[in-house]
Structure 1
Amino acid sequence: MTTVAIPTTVSAPERAGWFTQTGQVLRRWLIVTIRQVWGPVMSLVQPIIWILLFGQVFRSLGDLPQFAAAAGTGGYIEYLVPGILMMTVLYSGAWAGTGYIDDINSGVMDQYLSSAIRRSAIITGQLTQQLIVNVVQSLVVLGIGWLGGARYAGGVGGLLVALAVATLLATIFCCASTAIALISRNQIALISLSQLIVLPATFLSTTMMPSALLPDWVAAVARWNPMTWAVELGRGGLSGEYPDAAWLQVAGLVALAALAFTWAVRSIRAYQRSI
Protein backbone atom coordinates (compact mmCIF):
# COMPACT_ATOMS: atom_id res chain seq x y z
CA MET A 1 0.00 0.00 0.00
CA THR A 2 1.37 3.39 -0.94
CA THR A 3 1.03 6.36 1.36
CA VAL A 4 0.09 9.84 0.20
CA ALA A 5 1.81 12.74 1.89
CA ILE A 6 -0.65 15.38 3.04
CA PRO A 7 0.81 18.87 3.37
CA THR A 8 0.56 20.17 6.90
CA THR A 9 1.08 23.83 6.10
CA VAL A 10 -0.91 26.16 3.90
CA SER A 11 0.88 29.05 2.30
CA ALA A 12 -0.65 32.42 2.99
CA PRO A 13 -2.07 34.28 -0.01
CA GLU A 14 0.29 36.81 -1.48
CA ARG A 15 -0.56 40.35 -0.43
CA ALA A 16 -0.53 43.10 -3.02
CA GLY A 17 2.26 45.63 -2.77
CA TRP A 18 1.86 49.08 -1.28
CA PHE A 19 1.69 50.82 -4.67
CA THR A 20 -0.96 48.38 -5.92
CA GLN A 21 -3.03 48.93 -2.78
CA THR A 22 -2.69 52.70 -3.10
CA GLY A 23 -3.67 52.49 -6.77
CA GLN A 24 -6.81 50.54 -5.94
CA VAL A 25 -7.85 53.07 -3.31
CA LEU A 26 -7.10 55.89 -5.76
CA ARG A 27 -9.18 54.19 -8.45
CA ARG A 28 -12.13 53.88 -6.12
CA TRP A 29 -12.01 57.57 -5.14
CA LEU A 30 -11.60 58.70 -8.78
CA ILE A 31 -14.75 56.75 -9.69
CA VAL A 32 -16.56 58.49 -6.81
CA THR A 33 -15.32 61.86 -8.10
CA ILE A 34 -16.54 61.17 -11.64
CA ARG A 35 -19.94 60.10 -10.36
CA GLN A 36 -20.22 63.19 -8.16
CA VAL A 37 -18.34 65.66 -10.32
CA TRP A 38 -20.73 68.47 -9.36
CA GLY A 39 -18.82 68.87 -6.06
CA PRO A 40 -15.44 69.89 -7.56
CA VAL A 41 -17.23 71.92 -10.23
CA MET A 42 -19.31 73.89 -7.72
CA SER A 43 -16.20 74.60 -5.64
CA LEU A 44 -14.98 76.72 -8.58
CA VAL A 45 -17.88 79.14 -8.23
CA GLN A 46 -16.23 80.92 -5.30
CA PRO A 47 -12.89 81.66 -7.05
CA ILE A 48 -14.81 82.93 -10.09
CA ILE A 49 -16.66 85.36 -7.82
CA TRP A 50 -13.46 86.43 -6.03
CA ILE A 51 -11.47 87.05 -9.21
CA LEU A 52 -14.09 88.48 -11.54
CA LEU A 53 -16.19 90.37 -8.98
CA PHE A 54 -14.00 91.16 -5.96
CA GLY A 55 -10.98 91.67 -8.21
CA GLN A 56 -12.84 94.12 -10.44
CA VAL A 57 -14.36 96.05 -7.54
CA PHE A 58 -10.93 96.62 -5.96
CA ARG A 59 -9.03 96.87 -9.23
CA SER A 60 -8.29 100.55 -8.64
CA LEU A 61 -6.14 99.58 -5.63
CA GLY A 62 -3.44 98.63 -8.09
CA ASP A 63 -3.21 102.25 -9.24
CA LEU A 64 -2.43 103.59 -5.77
CA PRO A 65 1.27 104.41 -5.25
CA GLN A 66 1.23 102.79 -1.79
CA PHE A 67 -0.06 99.50 -3.19
CA ALA A 68 2.31 99.51 -6.14
CA ALA A 69 5.26 100.16 -3.82
CA ALA A 70 4.23 97.36 -1.43
CA ALA A 71 3.07 94.76 -3.95
CA GLY A 72 5.38 95.42 -6.87
CA THR A 73 3.03 93.77 -9.38
CA GLY A 74 1.29 94.82 -12.56
CA GLY A 75 -2.04 95.42 -10.83
CA TYR A 76 -4.44 94.14 -8.23
CA ILE A 77 -5.76 91.26 -10.38
CA GLU A 78 -2.25 89.87 -10.79
CA TYR A 79 -1.70 90.26 -7.06
CA LEU A 80 -5.02 88.60 -6.20
CA VAL A 81 -4.91 85.51 -8.46
CA PRO A 82 -2.18 83.62 -6.53
CA GLY A 83 -4.10 84.23 -3.32
CA ILE A 84 -7.34 82.92 -4.83
CA LEU A 85 -5.42 79.91 -6.14
CA MET A 86 -4.28 79.02 -2.62
CA MET A 87 -7.73 79.80 -1.20
CA THR A 88 -9.28 77.28 -3.58
CA VAL A 89 -7.03 74.40 -2.54
CA LEU A 90 -7.33 75.46 1.10
CA TYR A 91 -11.12 75.26 1.08
CA SER A 92 -11.15 72.04 -0.96
CA GLY A 93 -8.58 70.44 1.33
CA ALA A 94 -10.52 71.38 4.44
CA TRP A 95 -13.46 69.29 3.16
CA ALA A 96 -11.37 66.21 2.32
CA GLY A 97 -12.30 64.44 5.54
CA THR A 98 -16.01 64.30 4.69
CA GLY A 99 -15.34 61.26 2.50
CA TYR A 100 -13.99 59.34 5.47
CA ILE A 101 -17.03 60.17 7.58
CA ASP A 102 -19.25 58.87 4.77
CA ASP A 103 -17.16 55.68 4.71
CA ILE A 104 -17.47 55.30 8.48
CA ASN A 105 -21.25 55.73 8.38
CA SER A 106 -21.69 53.35 5.42
CA GLY A 107 -19.40 50.62 6.79
CA VAL A 108 -16.81 50.93 4.03
CA MET A 109 -14.14 51.93 6.54
CA ASP A 110 -14.74 48.72 8.51
CA GLN A 111 -14.21 46.73 5.31
CA TYR A 112 -10.95 48.58 4.71
CA LEU A 113 -9.69 47.91 8.22
CA SER A 114 -10.66 44.24 8.19
CA SER A 115 -8.63 43.66 5.02
CA ALA A 116 -4.87 43.30 4.57
CA ILE A 117 -4.48 46.75 3.08
CA ARG A 118 -1.90 49.00 4.69
CA ARG A 119 -3.26 51.97 6.55
CA SER A 120 -0.87 54.39 4.86
CA ALA A 121 -2.14 53.17 1.47
CA ILE A 122 -5.71 54.10 2.48
CA ILE A 123 -4.57 57.63 3.32
CA THR A 124 -2.28 58.02 0.30
CA GLY A 125 -4.85 56.77 -2.21
CA GLN A 126 -7.49 59.24 -1.13
CA LEU A 127 -4.93 62.03 -0.79
CA THR A 128 -3.71 61.44 -4.36
CA GLN A 129 -7.27 61.72 -5.63
CA GLN A 130 -7.71 65.00 -3.77
CA LEU A 131 -4.45 66.36 -5.18
CA ILE A 132 -5.43 65.43 -8.74
CA VAL A 133 -8.71 67.30 -8.31
CA ASN A 134 -6.85 70.26 -6.80
CA VAL A 135 -4.43 70.45 -9.74
CA VAL A 136 -7.36 70.55 -12.19
CA GLN A 137 -9.08 73.21 -10.10
CA SER A 138 -5.84 75.21 -9.91
CA LEU A 139 -5.47 75.19 -13.69
CA VAL A 140 -9.05 76.43 -14.04
CA VAL A 141 -8.41 79.22 -11.50
CA LEU A 142 -5.27 80.32 -13.35
CA GLY A 143 -7.25 80.32 -16.59
CA ILE A 144 -10.00 82.44 -15.01
CA GLY A 145 -7.34 84.82 -13.71
CA TRP A 146 -5.88 85.17 -17.20
CA LEU A 147 -9.32 85.91 -18.61
CA GLY A 148 -9.74 88.48 -15.82
CA GLY A 149 -6.62 90.33 -16.97
CA ALA A 150 -3.76 88.71 -15.02
CA ARG A 151 -0.55 87.97 -16.91
CA TYR A 152 2.06 85.50 -15.69
CA ALA A 153 5.56 86.83 -16.29
CA GLY A 154 7.09 83.74 -14.69
CA GLY A 155 6.15 81.67 -17.74
CA VAL A 156 5.55 77.93 -17.77
CA GLY A 157 8.18 77.34 -15.08
CA GLY A 158 6.48 79.81 -12.78
CA LEU A 159 3.10 78.17 -13.39
CA LEU A 160 4.58 74.80 -12.41
CA VAL A 161 6.03 76.32 -9.25
CA ALA A 162 2.65 77.79 -8.32
CA LEU A 163 0.97 74.42 -8.92
CA ALA A 164 3.60 72.62 -6.84
CA VAL A 165 3.14 75.03 -3.94
CA ALA A 166 -0.64 74.71 -4.18
CA THR A 167 -0.21 70.93 -4.03
CA LEU A 168 1.91 71.23 -0.88
CA LEU A 169 -0.71 73.43 0.78
CA ALA A 170 -3.46 71.04 -0.28
CA THR A 171 -1.53 68.12 1.23
CA ILE A 172 -1.36 69.88 4.59
CA PHE A 173 -5.06 70.64 4.81
CA CYS A 174 -6.28 67.39 3.22
CA CYS A 175 -4.32 65.34 5.75
CA ALA A 176 -5.35 67.58 8.65
CA SER A 177 -9.00 67.30 7.58
CA THR A 178 -8.64 63.52 7.36
CA ALA A 179 -7.18 63.33 10.87
CA ILE A 180 -9.93 65.52 12.31
CA ALA A 181 -12.60 63.44 10.56
CA LEU A 182 -11.21 60.18 11.95
CA ILE A 183 -10.98 61.66 15.44
CA SER A 184 -14.35 63.44 15.56
CA ARG A 185 -16.29 61.03 13.27
CA ASN A 186 -18.88 63.78 12.95
CA GLN A 187 -19.73 65.82 9.87
CA ILE A 188 -20.89 68.88 11.81
CA ALA A 189 -17.75 68.93 13.96
CA LEU A 190 -15.53 68.69 10.87
CA ILE A 191 -17.35 71.50 9.06
CA SER A 192 -17.28 73.74 12.15
CA LEU A 193 -13.57 73.20 12.74
CA SER A 194 -12.83 73.72 9.05
CA GLN A 195 -14.61 77.07 9.01
CA LEU A 196 -12.85 78.03 12.23
CA ILE A 197 -9.48 77.40 10.58
CA VAL A 198 -9.82 78.40 6.93
CA LEU A 199 -11.30 81.87 7.42
CA PRO A 200 -8.60 83.15 9.83
CA ALA A 201 -5.91 81.41 7.75
CA THR A 202 -7.12 83.35 4.72
CA PHE A 203 -7.59 86.80 6.18
CA LEU A 204 -4.57 86.70 8.51
CA SER A 205 -2.30 86.37 5.49
CA THR A 206 -1.18 88.37 2.47
CA THR A 207 -3.86 86.81 0.27
CA MET A 208 -5.76 90.08 -0.24
CA MET A 209 -3.28 92.76 0.77
CA PRO A 210 0.51 93.22 0.99
CA SER A 211 2.04 92.87 4.45
CA ALA A 212 3.15 96.51 4.46
CA LEU A 213 -0.46 97.69 4.23
CA LEU A 214 -1.83 95.39 6.93
CA PRO A 215 -2.27 96.41 10.60
CA ASP A 216 0.86 95.63 12.58
CA TRP A 217 -0.66 92.75 14.57
CA VAL A 218 -2.12 91.16 11.41
CA ALA A 219 1.22 91.49 9.62
CA ALA A 220 2.96 89.83 12.59
CA VAL A 221 0.57 86.86 12.48
CA ALA A 222 0.69 86.67 8.68
CA ARG A 223 4.46 86.32 8.75
CA TRP A 224 4.15 82.88 10.40
CA ASN A 225 1.00 81.82 8.59
CA PRO A 226 1.60 78.86 6.17
CA MET A 227 -1.05 80.39 3.93
CA THR A 228 1.18 83.46 3.54
CA TRP A 229 4.16 81.26 2.67
CA ALA A 230 2.16 79.47 -0.03
CA VAL A 231 0.67 82.68 -1.43
CA GLU A 232 4.01 84.47 -1.61
CA LEU A 233 5.72 81.48 -3.24
CA GLY A 234 2.89 81.13 -5.76
CA ARG A 235 2.95 84.85 -6.41
CA GLY A 236 6.71 84.68 -6.90
CA GLY A 237 6.38 81.84 -9.39
CA LEU A 238 3.71 83.62 -11.44
CA SER A 239 5.52 86.98 -11.40
CA GLY A 240 9.06 85.61 -11.67
CA GLU A 241 10.15 87.49 -8.53
CA TYR A 242 10.50 85.18 -5.52
CA PRO A 243 10.51 86.36 -1.88
CA ASP A 244 13.83 86.51 -0.03
CA ALA A 245 12.78 83.75 2.37
CA ALA A 246 11.57 81.42 -0.41
CA TRP A 247 13.61 78.37 0.62
CA LEU A 248 12.62 78.73 4.27
CA GLN A 249 8.97 78.96 3.26
CA VAL A 250 9.29 75.85 1.08
CA ALA A 251 10.97 73.97 3.94
CA GLY A 252 8.20 75.03 6.32
CA LEU A 253 5.46 73.81 3.96
CA VAL A 254 7.23 70.49 3.35
CA ALA A 255 7.69 69.94 7.09
CA LEU A 256 4.02 70.71 7.78
CA ALA A 257 2.92 68.38 4.96
CA ALA A 258 5.01 65.54 6.42
CA LEU A 259 3.62 66.15 9.92
CA ALA A 260 0.04 66.32 8.65
CA PHE A 261 0.43 63.06 6.71
CA THR A 262 1.89 61.33 9.78
CA TRP A 263 -1.03 62.65 11.86
CA ALA A 264 -3.54 61.26 9.35
CA VAL A 265 -1.93 57.80 9.32
CA ARG A 266 -1.77 57.68 13.12
CA SER A 267 -5.40 58.79 13.31
CA ILE A 268 -6.63 55.93 11.15
CA ARG A 269 -4.67 53.48 13.30
CA ALA A 270 -6.11 55.04 16.45
CA TYR A 271 -9.58 54.77 14.92
CA GLN A 272 -9.02 51.06 14.28
CA ARG A 273 -7.95 50.45 17.88
CA SER A 274 -11.06 52.22 19.17
CA ILE A 275 -13.63 50.09 17.34
Structure 2
Amino acid sequence: MTTLAHAPRRETPTAGWLVAAGQIFRRWMVNTLRESWGVFAALLQPIVWILLFGQVFESVGDIPGFGAANYITFLAPGVLMMTVLYSGVWAGTGYIEDIDNGVMNQLLTAPISRSAVVAGQLAVQLTVGLVQSALVLVIGFAGGARYPGGVAGIVLALAAATLLAAVFCAGSVALALVTRSQIALIGMSQLIILPLTFLSSGMMAPALMPGWVRSLSRFNPVTWAVDIGRTGLAGTADAATVAAHLGYLTALAALAFGWAVSAFRTYQRTQ
Protein backbone atom coordinates (compact mmCIF):
# COMPACT_ATOMS: atom_id res chain seq x y z
CA MET A 1 0.00 0.00 0.00
CA THR A 2 1.54 3.23 -1.07
CA THR A 3 1.16 6.63 0.51
CA LEU A 4 0.82 9.65 -1.69
CA ALA A 5 3.11 12.49 -0.69
CA HIS A 6 1.63 15.92 -1.14
CA ALA A 7 3.99 18.73 -2.02
CA PRO A 8 3.70 21.74 0.25
CA ARG A 9 1.51 24.47 -1.16
CA ARG A 10 3.52 27.35 -2.49
CA GLU A 11 2.33 30.85 -1.90
CA THR A 12 1.75 32.85 -5.06
CA PRO A 13 3.65 36.14 -5.42
CA THR A 14 0.40 38.08 -5.13
CA ALA A 15 -0.64 36.24 -1.98
CA GLY A 16 2.80 36.76 -0.47
CA TRP A 17 2.64 40.47 -1.28
CA LEU A 18 -0.78 40.77 0.37
CA VAL A 19 0.39 38.91 3.47
CA ALA A 20 3.42 41.18 3.79
CA ALA A 21 1.33 44.32 3.28
CA GLY A 22 -1.13 43.02 5.87
CA GLN A 23 1.64 42.51 8.41
CA ILE A 24 2.91 46.05 7.84
CA PHE A 25 -0.65 47.36 8.08
CA ARG A 26 -1.16 45.61 11.41
CA ARG A 27 2.09 46.98 12.83
CA TRP A 28 1.34 50.60 11.87
CA MET A 29 -2.31 50.37 12.93
CA VAL A 30 -1.32 49.11 16.38
CA ASN A 31 1.09 52.03 16.72
CA THR A 32 -1.60 54.46 15.57
CA LEU A 33 -4.15 53.14 18.06
CA ARG A 34 -1.60 53.37 20.86
CA GLU A 35 -1.14 57.04 20.00
CA SER A 36 -4.78 57.79 19.25
CA TRP A 37 -4.40 61.21 20.88
CA GLY A 38 -2.63 62.30 17.69
CA VAL A 39 -5.66 61.42 15.57
CA PHE A 40 -7.90 63.24 18.04
CA ALA A 41 -5.65 66.30 18.03
CA ALA A 42 -5.77 66.38 14.23
CA LEU A 43 -9.54 66.85 14.48
CA LEU A 44 -9.23 69.98 16.62
CA GLN A 45 -8.05 72.01 13.64
CA PRO A 46 -11.12 71.34 11.44
CA ILE A 47 -13.37 72.04 14.43
CA VAL A 48 -11.73 75.45 14.78
CA TRP A 49 -11.94 76.13 11.06
CA ILE A 50 -15.59 75.15 10.75
CA LEU A 51 -17.02 76.49 13.99
CA LEU A 52 -14.82 79.59 14.36
CA PHE A 53 -14.04 80.66 10.80
CA GLY A 54 -17.50 79.63 9.69
CA GLN A 55 -19.05 82.05 12.16
CA VAL A 56 -16.50 84.87 11.78
CA PHE A 57 -16.72 84.89 7.98
CA GLU A 58 -20.38 83.95 7.73
CA SER A 59 -21.22 87.24 6.00
CA VAL A 60 -18.86 86.30 3.13
CA GLY A 61 -21.56 83.94 1.90
CA ASP A 62 -23.79 86.95 1.20
CA ILE A 63 -21.41 88.38 -1.40
CA PRO A 64 -22.97 88.17 -4.89
CA GLY A 65 -21.39 85.39 -6.94
CA PHE A 66 -20.27 83.38 -3.93
CA GLY A 67 -22.46 80.47 -4.97
CA ALA A 68 -23.34 78.73 -1.68
CA ALA A 69 -26.31 78.72 0.66
CA ASN A 70 -24.07 79.71 3.58
CA TYR A 71 -20.35 79.96 4.22
CA ILE A 72 -20.15 76.84 6.40
CA THR A 73 -21.71 74.75 3.63
CA PHE A 74 -19.09 76.21 1.28
CA LEU A 75 -16.26 75.78 3.80
CA ALA A 76 -16.93 72.17 4.88
CA PRO A 77 -15.55 70.48 1.71
CA GLY A 78 -12.48 72.71 1.87
CA VAL A 79 -11.85 71.81 5.50
CA LEU A 80 -12.37 68.14 4.63
CA MET A 81 -9.59 68.24 2.04
CA MET A 82 -7.29 70.37 4.19
CA THR A 83 -7.66 67.88 7.06
CA VAL A 84 -6.42 64.95 4.97
CA LEU A 85 -3.75 67.18 3.40
CA TYR A 86 -2.31 68.26 6.75
CA SER A 87 -2.50 64.72 8.14
CA GLY A 88 -0.99 63.21 5.02
CA VAL A 89 2.17 65.30 4.96
CA TRP A 90 3.17 63.90 8.38
CA ALA A 91 2.99 60.27 7.21
CA GLY A 92 6.75 60.18 6.64
CA THR A 93 7.63 61.00 10.25
CA GLY A 94 7.10 57.37 11.23
CA TYR A 95 9.71 56.25 8.71
CA ILE A 96 12.25 58.69 10.11
CA GLU A 97 11.57 57.37 13.61
CA ASP A 98 12.18 53.84 12.29
CA ILE A 99 15.45 55.00 10.71
CA ASP A 100 16.60 56.67 13.93
CA ASN A 101 15.62 53.65 16.06
CA GLY A 102 17.27 51.09 13.79
CA VAL A 103 13.95 49.43 12.94
CA MET A 104 14.29 50.31 9.26
CA ASN A 105 17.57 48.41 8.90
CA GLN A 106 15.95 45.34 10.47
CA LEU A 107 13.06 45.65 8.04
CA LEU A 108 15.45 45.84 5.09
CA THR A 109 16.85 42.41 5.96
CA ALA A 110 13.41 40.79 5.75
CA PRO A 111 12.33 39.16 2.46
CA ILE A 112 9.46 41.61 1.99
CA SER A 113 8.55 43.50 -1.15
CA ARG A 114 9.37 47.20 -0.74
CA SER A 115 6.11 48.15 -2.41
CA ALA A 116 4.25 46.02 0.16
CA VAL A 117 5.95 47.96 2.97
CA VAL A 118 4.87 51.28 1.49
CA ALA A 119 1.37 50.01 0.66
CA GLY A 120 0.78 48.63 4.16
CA GLN A 121 1.65 51.92 5.85
CA LEU A 122 -0.27 53.90 3.23
CA ALA A 123 -3.38 51.77 3.86
CA VAL A 124 -3.24 52.70 7.55
CA GLN A 125 -2.97 56.40 6.74
CA LEU A 126 -5.89 56.20 4.32
CA THR A 127 -8.02 54.31 6.85
CA VAL A 128 -7.36 56.94 9.49
CA GLY A 129 -7.96 59.69 6.93
CA LEU A 130 -11.30 58.17 5.95
CA VAL A 131 -12.45 58.15 9.57
CA GLN A 132 -11.29 61.75 10.01
CA SER A 133 -13.07 62.76 6.80
CA ALA A 134 -16.36 61.28 7.94
CA LEU A 135 -16.05 63.06 11.30
CA VAL A 136 -15.30 66.38 9.57
CA LEU A 137 -18.53 66.05 7.58
CA VAL A 138 -20.42 65.33 10.80
CA ILE A 139 -18.82 68.36 12.47
CA GLY A 140 -19.70 70.48 9.44
CA PHE A 141 -23.32 69.33 9.55
CA ALA A 142 -23.49 70.14 13.26
CA GLY A 143 -22.09 73.59 12.46
CA GLY A 144 -24.78 74.31 9.88
CA ALA A 145 -23.49 72.80 6.63
CA ARG A 146 -26.01 70.96 4.49
CA TYR A 147 -25.38 68.28 1.89
CA PRO A 148 -28.18 68.16 -0.73
CA GLY A 149 -26.15 65.64 -2.73
CA GLY A 150 -27.06 62.96 -0.21
CA VAL A 151 -25.23 59.66 0.18
CA ALA A 152 -23.85 59.72 -3.37
CA GLY A 153 -22.36 63.16 -2.79
CA ILE A 154 -20.82 62.09 0.51
CA VAL A 155 -19.26 59.01 -1.10
CA LEU A 156 -17.85 61.19 -3.89
CA ALA A 157 -16.38 63.65 -1.39
CA LEU A 158 -14.80 60.84 0.65
CA ALA A 159 -13.34 59.28 -2.51
CA ALA A 160 -11.74 62.59 -3.48
CA ALA A 161 -10.38 63.03 0.06
CA THR A 162 -8.91 59.51 0.02
CA LEU A 163 -7.13 60.09 -3.29
CA LEU A 164 -5.78 63.43 -2.09
CA ALA A 165 -4.55 61.77 1.10
CA ALA A 166 -2.84 59.05 -0.95
CA VAL A 167 -0.95 61.68 -2.97
CA PHE A 168 0.47 63.45 0.07
CA CYS A 169 0.97 60.40 2.29
CA ALA A 170 3.06 58.67 -0.37
CA GLY A 171 4.86 61.93 -1.16
CA SER A 172 5.67 62.42 2.51
CA VAL A 173 7.10 58.90 2.75
CA ALA A 174 9.30 59.58 -0.28
CA LEU A 175 10.53 62.88 1.20
CA ALA A 176 11.25 61.17 4.52
CA LEU A 177 13.37 58.50 2.86
CA VAL A 178 15.22 61.12 0.80
CA THR A 179 15.86 63.68 3.56
CA ARG A 180 16.08 61.24 6.54
CA SER A 181 15.55 64.22 8.83
CA GLN A 182 12.50 65.27 10.83
CA ILE A 183 13.48 68.94 10.62
CA ALA A 184 13.93 68.80 6.85
CA LEU A 185 10.66 66.92 6.38
CA ILE A 186 8.70 69.39 8.52
CA GLY A 187 10.23 72.37 6.73
CA MET A 188 9.52 71.01 3.26
CA SER A 189 6.01 69.96 4.27
CA GLN A 190 5.18 73.47 5.43
CA LEU A 191 6.64 74.88 2.22
CA ILE A 192 4.31 72.63 0.22
CA ILE A 193 1.02 72.68 2.11
CA LEU A 194 0.66 76.41 2.82
CA PRO A 195 0.73 77.53 -0.84
CA LEU A 196 -1.49 74.60 -1.83
CA THR A 197 -3.99 75.60 0.85
CA PHE A 198 -4.23 79.29 0.05
CA LEU A 199 -3.96 78.89 -3.73
CA SER A 200 -7.01 76.62 -3.79
CA SER A 201 -10.77 77.02 -3.75
CA GLY A 202 -10.92 75.62 -0.22
CA MET A 203 -11.81 78.88 1.52
CA MET A 204 -12.77 81.24 -1.28
CA ALA A 205 -14.89 81.00 -4.41
CA PRO A 206 -12.76 81.13 -7.58
CA ALA A 207 -14.96 83.92 -8.96
CA LEU A 208 -13.78 86.19 -6.13
CA MET A 209 -10.07 85.37 -6.45
CA PRO A 210 -7.51 87.60 -8.18
CA GLY A 211 -6.98 86.44 -11.75
CA TRP A 212 -3.49 85.01 -11.21
CA VAL A 213 -4.61 83.08 -8.12
CA ARG A 214 -7.61 81.69 -9.98
CA SER A 215 -5.33 80.57 -12.83
CA LEU A 216 -2.92 78.80 -10.47
CA SER A 217 -5.76 77.17 -8.54
CA ARG A 218 -6.89 75.32 -11.66
CA PHE A 219 -3.69 73.25 -11.53
CA ASN A 220 -3.83 72.65 -7.78
CA PRO A 221 -4.71 69.08 -6.70
CA VAL A 222 -6.37 70.49 -3.58
CA THR A 223 -8.73 72.47 -5.82
CA TRP A 224 -9.52 69.34 -7.84
CA ALA A 225 -10.45 67.45 -4.68
CA VAL A 226 -12.37 70.38 -3.17
CA ASP A 227 -14.38 70.90 -6.35
CA ILE A 228 -15.30 67.21 -6.49
CA GLY A 229 -16.37 67.25 -2.85
CA ARG A 230 -18.19 70.57 -3.04
CA THR A 231 -20.21 69.82 -6.17
CA GLY A 232 -20.86 66.27 -4.99
CA LEU A 233 -22.18 67.38 -1.60
CA ALA A 234 -24.24 70.11 -3.28
CA GLY A 235 -25.71 67.66 -5.78
CA THR A 236 -24.42 69.70 -8.74
CA ALA A 237 -21.51 67.52 -9.86
CA ASP A 238 -20.71 67.47 -13.56
CA ALA A 239 -19.80 63.93 -14.61
CA ALA A 240 -17.11 64.96 -17.10
CA THR A 241 -15.40 67.36 -14.70
CA VAL A 242 -15.53 64.90 -11.82
CA ALA A 243 -14.12 62.11 -13.99
CA ALA A 244 -11.28 64.35 -15.16
CA HIS A 245 -10.36 65.50 -11.66
CA LEU A 246 -10.57 61.97 -10.26
CA GLY A 247 -8.29 60.86 -13.08
CA TYR A 248 -5.76 63.58 -12.29
CA LEU A 249 -5.75 62.67 -8.60
CA THR A 250 -5.42 58.96 -9.35
CA ALA A 251 -2.46 59.62 -11.66
CA LEU A 252 -0.76 61.79 -9.03
CA ALA A 253 -1.35 59.13 -6.36
CA ALA A 254 0.22 56.48 -8.60
CA LEU A 255 3.23 58.70 -9.31
CA ALA A 256 3.67 59.50 -5.61
CA PHE A 257 3.45 55.81 -4.70
CA GLY A 258 6.04 54.95 -7.34
CA TRP A 259 8.31 57.69 -6.01
CA ALA A 260 7.97 56.34 -2.46
CA VAL A 261 8.88 52.79 -3.54
CA SER A 262 11.82 54.11 -5.57
CA ALA A 263 13.03 56.18 -2.61
CA PHE A 264 12.78 53.07 -0.40
CA ARG A 265 14.96 51.07 -2.78
CA THR A 266 17.45 53.93 -3.05
CA TYR A 267 17.65 54.08 0.74
CA GLN A 268 18.30 50.34 0.85
CA ARG A 269 21.16 50.59 -1.65
CA THR A 270 22.89 53.25 0.44
CA GLN A 271 22.88 51.17 3.63
Report how far residue 248 of structure 1 moved. Answer: 1.5
Report how far residue 96 of structure 1 moved. Answer: 0.3
- CA deviation vs aligned residue, 1:197-251 (integer Å, no higher than 9, x gap): 0010000011111111000110010011111000000111111111562222111
1:41 is aligned to 2:40: yes
CA distance in 1, matches of 2:205, 2:63: 13
SS of the residue corresponding to residue 66 of structure 1 reads: coil
CA distance in 2, matches of 1:113, 1:36: 25
Report how far residue 65 of structure 1 moved. Answer: 2.1
Partner of 2:270: 274
Match of 1:205 among 200, 225, 228: 200
Report how far residue 63 of structure 1 moved. Answer: 1.9
Partner of 1:5: none
CA distance in 2, matches of 1:153, 1:111: 51
Report how far residue 66 of structure 1 moved. Answer: 3.1
Length, aligned pairs only: 260
- Please give the residue correspondences for 1:168-187 in structure 2 after superposition, counting only pairs within 5 Å: 168-187=163-182
- Please give the residue correspondences for 1:19-98 in structure 2 after superposition, counting only pairs within 5 Å: 19-67=18-66, 71=67, 73-98=68-93
Equivalent pair of 2:217/2:223 in contact (CA under 8 Å)? yes
Equivalent pair of 2:65/2:207 in contact (CA under 8 Å)? no
CA distance in 2, matches of 1:198, 1:133: 19
Q: Which amino acid aligns with 2:242?
A: A
Report how far residue 75 of structure 1 moved. Answer: 1.2
Report how far residue 95 of structure 1 moved. Answer: 0.4
CA distance in 2, matches of 1:258, 1:134: 18
Partner of 1:133: 128
Unaligned stretches of 5+ in structure 1?
A: 1-10
- Please give the residue correspondences for 1:95-114 in structure 2 after superposition, counting only pairs within 5 Å: 95-114=90-109
1:234 is aligned to 2:234: no
Equivalent pair of 2:166/2:253 in contact (CA under 8 Å)? yes
SS of the residue corresponding to residue 74 of structure 1 reads: coil
SS of the residue corresponding to residue 117 of structure 1 reads: coil
- Please give the residue correspondences for 1:234-253 in structure 2 after superposition, counting only pairs within 5 Å: 234-243=229-238, 245-253=241-249
CA distance in 2, matches of 1:132, 1:248: 24
Q: Which amino acid aligns with 1:147?
A: A
Q: Which amino acid aligns with 1:249?
A: H
Q: Which amino acid aligns with 2:34?
A: R
Report how far residue 94 of structure 1 moved. Answer: 0.4
Report how far residue 157 of structure 1 moved. Answer: 1.1
| RMSD, aligned CA | 1.4
Partner of 2:3: none
Match of 1:193 among 188, 193, 201: 188
CA distance in 2, matches of 1:162, 1:175: 20
Highest CA radius of gyration, 1 or 2? Answer: 1
Match of 1:164 among 151, 155, 159: 159
Partner of 2:254: 258
Q: Which amino acid aligns with 2:33?
A: I
Report how far residue 74 of structure 1 moved. Answer: 1.4
CA distance in 1, matches of 2:220, 2:241: 13
CA distance in 2, matches of 1:193, 1:242: 34
- CA deviation vs aligned residue, 1:75-108 (integer Å, no higher than 9, x gap): 1111000000000000000000000000001111
Report how far residue 151 of structure 1 moved. Answer: 0.8
Question: 4+ residue runs of structure 1 moved beyond 3 angstroms?
Answer: 13-16
CA distance in 1, matches of 2:54, 2:37: 25
